[in-house]
């Protein structure tokens, strides 16, 4: 039972988000490459979402959508180039105004100074831009300071220190945002030797040749076999490797460092769960672990994200709240990052403001999916051929079974469609857009895509009449 004065029974919300952590690198999602016991504990004692997706698979836009409950075209952050205007309505501002104690620590990546600094937080200390893994400089309420140690530990330390000093009579909303496991995957000493003497299994699509896909897949520059910088792999490759040998070597270098960074995040999730145990706040606190988007872990021969393909599109999401969520439950409703803000507000007893496009999924987490829940959603990636990754801009619709993608830019072209049947081809190796057997599905999905674009209010770049 709550011990709060004044009968304030509103729950605490602890939102832990990492950066670029793919669901298939969490053991509760069936990872065959690592174990994440503390994240698994949240799933075991709560719920795992199997169809949680981002609406634009890249850091800054996903963060803006999480804070505002709006799609990229309305929150002003469609690419990495924009900073976010914090004068917009956000969940933390509304929670703070409603009496919640609020704080955020770690990665912000939405701009700094003036209207870009965090707003709606009583306390904040954030990394500049991407920030560093070791001895990071941070903006502590705007003041530059350097912190000794490893970013993942520091961010958890700050979070726990703030929790220790909070007012126990009022509920809290804490956003702990880890930098890890974002590129360049710098590990700490504690995990540096992890996986040293073993080979991590290779994903089945590591040797993808991009046949049967749109030109954009072939043109992307994020191949394990070709596109890493030395700063990614940290050492020069052994001499005399064949192309295949180099690919295997680079994959092992990459994935081991990535998983070492994940292991540190998992340890620090464990520390926060321990804190809740010790503070007697398990019943009163919603704990969420998620990541801003997914990631290619050698899947399709790639690292990074951006594409609407599953590994990049899917967000891990586990949540525990003993008052409402059945332990060990699994939910496959389509949930989006724009839904997070309405969820936070709902738990605090606040209605979703009209500006927010997302929908609370509190009932889904509690195992009672609303009768009219969505069965499709709209996705758009805007950063057409950025300097580093060369992914083409695209938008599309995903339903429970199919995914239709349109690469809409005319230059360098061609504009192209892809259609995947996720039931028959879950790894998305063969677009069936031109298969006459799917003509009906294509027509239906084009109609659904147009409907969704109208619904969310993104009417830019319609497709040509004849495509």
- Contact positions vs Ca ion (CB under 5 A): 19-20, 59, 292
Q: Check if the beta carbon of residue 279 is closer than 8 Å to that of residue 14.
A: no
Report, in Å, the least distance between residue 443 CB and Ca ion. Answer: 35
What's the gap between Cα 102 and its chain centre? 21
Report, in Å, the least distance between residue 20 CB and Ca ion. Answer: 4
* Bridge partners for 418 per DSSP: 405
Report, in Å, the least distance between residue 63 CB and Ca ion. Answer: 8
| CA distances (Å), origin 218, targets 210, 211, 391 | 6, 8, 9
Report, in Å, the least distance between residue 120 CB and Ca ion. Answer: 21
Report, in Å, the least distance between residue 287 CB and Ca ion. Answer: 21
DSSP state of 203: P
Residue 266 or 421 having the CB closest to Ca ion: 266
Residue 337 or 415 having the CB closest to Ca ion: 337
Interacting residues of 429 by C-beta distance below 8 A, sequence separation 6+: 205, 208, 212, 213
Report, in Å, the least distance between residue 138 CB and Ca ion. Answer: 18
Distance, in Å, from the CA atom of 175 to the CA atom of 172, rounded to the nearest integer, reads 10
What's the gap between Cα 17 and its chain centre? 8
Residue 208 or 292 having the CB closest to Ca ion: 292
Distance, in Å, from the CA atom of 323 to the CA atom of 47, rounded to the nearest integer, reads 12
Residue 386 or 444 having the CB closest to Ca ion: 386
Determine if residue 412 is left, alpha or beta; phi over 0 gives left, psi from -120 to 50 gives alpha, anything else beta: alpha
Report, in Å, the least distance between residue 430 CB and Ca ion. Answer: 28
Distance, in Å, from the CA atom of 249 to the CA atom of 237, rounded to the nearest integer, reads 8
Q: Which tokens belong to 226?
A: 């070709």
Secondary structure tally for the chain: helices H, strands E? 12, 16
Residue 10 or 183 having the CB closest to Ca ion: 183
DSSP state of 377: E
Residue 19 or 339 having the CB closest to Ca ion: 19
Residue nearest to Ca ion (CB): 59
Question: Is the link from the previous residue into 89 a cis peptide, with omega within 30 of 0?
Answer: no
Report, in Å, the least distance between residue 239 CB and Ca ion. Answer: 34
Q: Which tokens belong to 44?
A: 């075991």
Residue 79 or 461 having the CB closest to Ca ion: 79
Residue 20 or 45 having the CB closest to Ca ion: 20
């Amino acid at each position: 039972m709550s011990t709060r004065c004044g009968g304030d029974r509103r729950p605490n919300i602890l939102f832990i988000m990492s950066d670029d952590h793919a669901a298939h690198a969490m053991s509760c999602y069936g990872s065959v490459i690592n174990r994440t016991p503390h994240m698994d504990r949240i799933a075991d004692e709560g719920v795992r979402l199997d169809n949680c997706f981002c609406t634009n698979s890249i850091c800054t836009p996903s963060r803006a959508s999480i804070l505002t409950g709006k799609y990229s075209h309305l929150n002003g952050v469609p690419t990495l180039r924009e900073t976010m205007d914090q004068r917009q309505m956000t969940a933390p501002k509304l929670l703070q105004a409603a009496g919640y104690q609020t704080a955020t620590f770690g990665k912000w990546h939405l701009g700094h100074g003036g209207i870009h600094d965090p707003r709606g937080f009583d306390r904040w200390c954030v990394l500049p831009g991407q920030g560093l893994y070791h001895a990071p400089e941070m903006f502590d309420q705007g003041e530059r300071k350097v912190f000794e140690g490893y970013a993942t530990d520091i961010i958890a330390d700050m979070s726990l220190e703030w929790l220790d000093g909070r007012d126990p009579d009022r509920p809290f909303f804490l956003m702990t945002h880890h930098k890890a496991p974002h590129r360049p995957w710098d590990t700490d000493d504690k995990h540096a030797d992890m996986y040293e003497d073993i080979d991590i299994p290779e994903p089945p699509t590591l040797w993808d040749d991009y046949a049967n896909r749109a030109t954009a897949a072939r043109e992307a520059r994020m191949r394990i076999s070709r596109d890493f910088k030395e700063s990614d792999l940290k050492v020069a490759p052994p001499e005399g490797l064949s192309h295949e040998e180099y690919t295997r070597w680079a994959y092992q270098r990459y994935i081991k460092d990535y998983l070492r960074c994940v292991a540190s995040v998992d340890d620090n999730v464990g520390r926060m769960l321990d804190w809740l145990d010790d503070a007697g706040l398990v019943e009163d606190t919603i704990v969420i672990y998620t990541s801003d988007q997914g990631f290619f872990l050698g899947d399709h021969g790639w690292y990074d994200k951006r594409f609407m393909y599953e590994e990049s599109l899917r967000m891990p999401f586990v949540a525990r709240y003993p008052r409402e969520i059945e332990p060990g439950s699994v939910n496959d409703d389509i949930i989006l990052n724009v839904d997070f803000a309405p969820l936070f507000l709902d738990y605090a007893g606040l209605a979703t403001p009209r500006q927010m496009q997302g929908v609370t999924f509190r009932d889904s987490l509690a195992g009672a999916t609303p009768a009219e829940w969505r069965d499709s959603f709209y996705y758009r990636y805007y950063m057409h051929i950025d300097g580093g990754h060369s992914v083409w801009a695209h938008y599309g619709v995903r339903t429970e079974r199919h995914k239709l993608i349109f690469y809409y830019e005319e230059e360098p072209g061609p504009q192209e469609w892809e259609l995947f049947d996720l039931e028959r081809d879950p790894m998305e190796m063969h677009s069936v857009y031109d298969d006459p057997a799917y003509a009906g599905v294509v027509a239906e999905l084009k109609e659904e895509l147009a409907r969704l674009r109208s619904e969310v209010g993104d009417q830019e770049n319609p497709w040509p009449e004849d495509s």
